[in-house]
A and B are shown apart, each in its own frame.
Chain A
Amino acid sequence: MHTYVLRRMVASVPTLFGVTVLIFVAMRVIPGDPISLITSEGGMNYALSDEEINAVRHSLGFDRPYHEQYLSWIGDVLSGELGRSFWRQEPIRDQILRRAPITAEIGLMAILLSWIIGLPIGILSAVKRNAWPDYVSRVFVIFFVAVPAFWVGLLIVLAEVLIFNWRPSLTIIYLWEDPWRNLQMTLGPAVVLGLGVAALTARMARSATLEVLHEDYVRTARAKGLREKLVIVRHVLRNALLPVVTISGLALGGLLGGSVAVERAFGVPGLGQLLVMGFGERDWMLIQNLVLLYGVVFTIINLLIDLTYALLDPRIGYS
């Protein structure tokens, strides 16, 4: 088991290297460089002389060869020094640290909700196959897989405005400062995102449970007179959970990406809003580091999923 954990962790190193290269190429090589783009499109406001442009490029290090720029960026990332954004004085690291707790809180609550809602629905749907609980839960799944989470978010905000004449706070309030007002801000996005992932979880749990229900050991368990509830809990559940774990990587990727749009819909001051802001302001340094953060977090999530899978299923991972 230990060797598997180690091997799997080592295997994600080249992936992370690829992630940094892809980001760097997308940010630097394709569009020429940010300064010329900013000055060329800004017109009057940003019109700089060639000397000024060169001075700015030099101060930001854009006149150095690409491999030097890349290495210095990686060095910055590894030392935790992410530099400054183009327009704001606050270091990028501080901006990220200030907003990360909000996004992380929303994400964790959404995952928790997706399990609490998705697993029972999926299992119930399989056990009561072709009866009304199954139909209800299949409609739930089909609807929430399709409906874009950010639109549900917009509808919730709209309803709050029209009914209560109230909109959630736009400033950062941490859970440990004022739990009640923090939850007013984070609960909506968490529920909206959680329902989408819950639908995917329920769908997978249903088909996995259906498959397990036909296994010989389930028939044996029933034949020896075990109560149906125990059959489900002891024999079916455990084996049905495995496939659910495998798809959770895809589902959580959807959650991570979807959270950007949902944060925007609710106006929550999280990392997603920061990323969108970076786009609006063409703030290359900010985007580059934020996208890397999303990539690293998603890679770690996938790593954890693989390890969980190995932990749950003793058959794999030792070779």
Chain B
Amino acid sequence: MDIAAADERITWPQKVETKTPRAQGLGRFVRSSPLGTIAAIGLIGLIVVALFADQFAPFDPLVSDYGVSRSPPTVAHPFGADQLGRDTLSRIIHGARVSLFVALVSVLLGDSVGLVWGIASGFLGGRFDLVSQRVLDTLLSFPGLILAMLLLVGLGAGLQTVIIAIAVTRIPLATRVIRSVVLGVRNLAFVEAARGLGSSNLRIMALHILPQCVAPFLVIVSANIGVAITTEAALSFLGIGVPPPTPTWGNMLGGVLAESFKPPWWLVVYPGVFLTATVLAANLFGDAMRDFLDPKLRGVT
């Protein structure tokens, strides 16, 4: 009997008119974690503000107006002005751009390296895995902030170097988590089957192992964003991150206490409130992503 006739007799399931799988996933995410959803909306709002910082900021963040130097919050300057008479609100808005850009790019960069390295290390095993583990041990022997500082000595201060330094601190844990995921699936039947069909290692890793690592990867990325924001802020606060005059939340907090015995409170409070709220939102979103995608990773991230 030919295929057309067989096709006639089978009742194919009717395509049900429904939402796209993506929209369903979104709906499930919202229902599974209202708090994570609120956090995500907040973060998206902040990203929009950061992208259009020039439109949202009432003043130029770099231009001094000595007439309002150290001005407490007023109607024109709701968050006051700093020693050089620069508007604090405008600097916070432009600082959001740096904070988010550095955090997102460095996390994506570092965790992607971790993804590739973890897959290679877990799948190939052998001597490569052994050497990789020792290298990761070394990277993990430094507290994250200290490792970033060390790299910045070598690389010099700047936006790109800060991104690279923070990215490197994110690599070891991402590699370890991905590696353990790979170790769990590398001997399963579908990998054996692919090998039996004569697939090369590269093909198996790209087509069969990689898809298994997508969910853990997304979990790691969303868990790391808060850490990256904090690290960038700490580096800039210490004066070894993104150099002035570019405003970041960290370097806005940097010189305040050293500058005078009685520092203006608005310069200490407002940048920190935005910093804390953003890290809080990023962490809540990260937790929600973990519970949604891969609850098994609880405790790992």
Question: Does B269 make an interface contact (CB < 8 A)?
Answer: yes
CB-CB nearest in chain A for B234:
A261
How long is the Cα–Cα vector from A143 to B281 in the complex, in angstroms? 10
Given A150-B234, A150-B237, verify A15-B257 contact (CB < 8 Å): no
Cross-chain contact B253 with A151 (CB below 8 angstroms): yes
Query: How many whole Å from B158's CB to the nearest CB in chain A?
Result: 13
Question: Does B24 make an interface contact (CB < 8 A)?
Answer: no
Report the interface size for chain A: residues with CB under 8 A from the other chain. Answer: 56
Q: Which of B67-75, B86-94, B197-205, B258-266 contacts A (4 or more CB under 8 A)?
A: B258-266
Cross-chain contact A26 with B299 (CB below 8 angstroms): no
Question: Does A260 make an interface contact (CB < 8 A)?
Answer: yes
Q: Which of B57-65, B76-84, B135-143 contacts A (4 or more CB under 8 A)?
A: B135-143
Chain B residues with Cβ below 8 Å from A256 are: 143, 146
Query: How many whole Å from B138's CB to the nearest CB in chain A?
Result: 3
The contact string, 1 if C-beta is below 8 Å from chain A, for chain B 131-159, is 00011011111111110011101111000
Cross-chain contact A257 with B143 (CB below 8 angstroms): yes
Chain B residues with Cβ below 8 Å from A146 are: 226, 276, 279-280, 283
Query: How many whole Å from B26's CB to the nearest CB in chain A?
Result: 24
The contact string, 1 if C-beta is below 8 Å from chain B, for chain A 171-207, is 0000000000000000000000000000000001001
Question: Does B268 make an interface contact (CB < 8 A)?
Answer: yes
Given A207-B298, A299-B141, verify A18-B135 contact (CB < 8 Å): yes
Q: How many A-B contacts at CB < 8 Å in the complex? A: 147
A-side binding surface: helix, strand, loop or mixed? helix
CB-CB nearest in chain B for A260:
B145
Question: Which single member of B146, B265, B298 contacts A295 (CB below 8 Å)?
Answer: B146
Query: How many whole Å from B258's CB to the nearest CB in chain A?
Result: 8
Question: Which single member of B138, B238, B261, B279 contacts A15 (CB below 8 Å)?
Answer: B138
8 contacts between A and B (CB under 8 A): A29-B154, A247-B299, A256-B143, A261-B234, A265-B237, A276-B240, A287-B150, A295-B146
Given A19-B138, A26-B153, A154-B253, verify A261-B146 contact (CB < 8 Å): no
Chain B residues with Cβ below 8 Å from A294 are: 142-143, 146
Q: Which of B263-301 touch A at CB < 8 Å?
A: 263, 265, 268-269, 272, 275-276, 279-280, 283-284, 298-299
The contact string, 1 if C-beta is below 8 Å from chain A, for chain B 105-139, is 00000000000000000000000000000110111
Query: How many whole Å from A261's CB to the nearest CB in chain B?
Result: 4
